[in-house]
């Protein structure tokens, strides 16, 4: 299986996953140029939810940023992204549905796997 890195601005994530998800694993898709440096901590959850909904069904999605974090990312946003990964970035082991979010600040205890 090959891995394809995703830039955030690409709008057809679900279509891409349907067309190539049986042959590719996808990685990234969370913007380091828009959401992380300029968004609020509350705004960071939505792109995580969108990428998981579009790319996680069937498995093979590695949730992450489109590149490494830059110096202009406020620490509050980096922390919010980490929390969003843990609460909204999980899917059932079968890869078919998003698992319920864990309470903020706690680790999920349901049998899920991270988008890795």
- Indicate the DSSP class of residue 110: S
**What are 54-72's pLDDT values in tens digits?**
888 877 888 888 888 889 9
Q: Per-residue pLDDT averaged across 6-14, rounded?
A: 66
* Residue 74: per-residue pLDDT: 94
**What are 70-79's pLDDT values in tens digits?**
899 999 999 9
pLDDT above 90 coverage of the chain, percent:
14
pTM of the model: 0.68
Contact (CB, 8 A) for 113 and 76: no
Residue 105: phi and psi, rounded to 5, are 85, 0
How many angstroms separate the CA atoms of 21 and 113, rounded?
18
């Amino acid at each position: 299986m090959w891995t394809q890195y995703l830039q955030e601005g690409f709008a057809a994530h679900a279509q891409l996953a349907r067309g190539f998800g049986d042959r590719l694993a996808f990685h990234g898709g969370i913007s380091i140029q828009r959401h992380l440096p300029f968004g609020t901590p509350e705004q960071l959850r939505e792109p995580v939810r969108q990428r998981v909904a579009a790319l996680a069904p069937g498995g093979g999605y590695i949730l992450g940023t489109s590149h490494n974090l830059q110096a202009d990312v406020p620490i509050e946003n980096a922390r919010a992204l980490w929390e969003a990964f843990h609460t909204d970035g999980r899917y059932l082991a079968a890869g078919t549905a998003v698992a319920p979010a864990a309470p903020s600040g706690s680790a999920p205890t349901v049998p899920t796997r991270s988008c890795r």
